[in-house]
Structure 1
Amino acid sequence: MKRAALILAALLAATPALAFHCPADMAAIDAALAANPALTAEQLAEVTALRAEGEAQHVAGNHDASVATLAKAMAILGIG
């Protein structure tokens, strides 16, 4: 019984951490964009669109999708 309670407590503690991962990724993308990265116009447009989509997913509570979308933008930027 103690083990089940510990697992439940760990899961509950991890949930807010996952929710806050999205804003950290968005901030990293914003910082990289502010540094004027060497991207083509197409890459810049894609990163900007992915950043916006990731934020919308985060606001909607879909954090898994948000993290995945933001990871695509970060990969284009060469960060993370």
Structure 2
Amino acid sequence: MRHLAIALLVTLLSAPALAMHCPREMARIDAMLASEPPADPEVLAEVQRLRAEGEELHKAGNHSEALKILDEALNLLQASE
């Protein structure tokens, strides 16, 4: 029972941490797009789509999925440098 309580506590405390991480990743994407956008218009469109999807997931409270999508956008940006 004790292990279950600890697992529940960790889960409850990790959700706000993930929620706060999403805006930071969105800001990183925005900064990278502003300073050095990808030259390929298809990559730019995909990054913008992923960033918007990540923001919607964040607003819906699905922070773990939002971070996956935002990480995908960041990876695309870094690969296009």
Per the TM superposition, whether the score is higher than 0.5 is yes
Please indicate the TM-score interval, normalised by the length of the shorter structure.
Answer: 0.7 to 0.9
TM-score by length of 2: 0.80
Q: Which runs of 5+ in 2 are unaligned?
A: none
1:59 maps to 59
CA distance in structure 2 between the aligned counterparts of 1:57 and 1:35, rounded to whole angstroms: 25
Normalised to the residue count of structure 1, the TM-score between the two structures is 0.81
| 1:24 CA displacement | 0.7
1:65 to 1:5, Cα distance in 2 relative to 1, 3 A: closer
How many aligned positions are there? 79
RMSD across aligned positions (CA): 1.9
The reply on whether 1:77 has 2:77 as its aligned counterpart is yes
Q: Aligned residues: percent identity?
A: 48
Aligned to 1:29: 29
Distance of 2:72 and 2:39 partners within structure 1? 14
Distance 1:69 1:7 in 2: 26
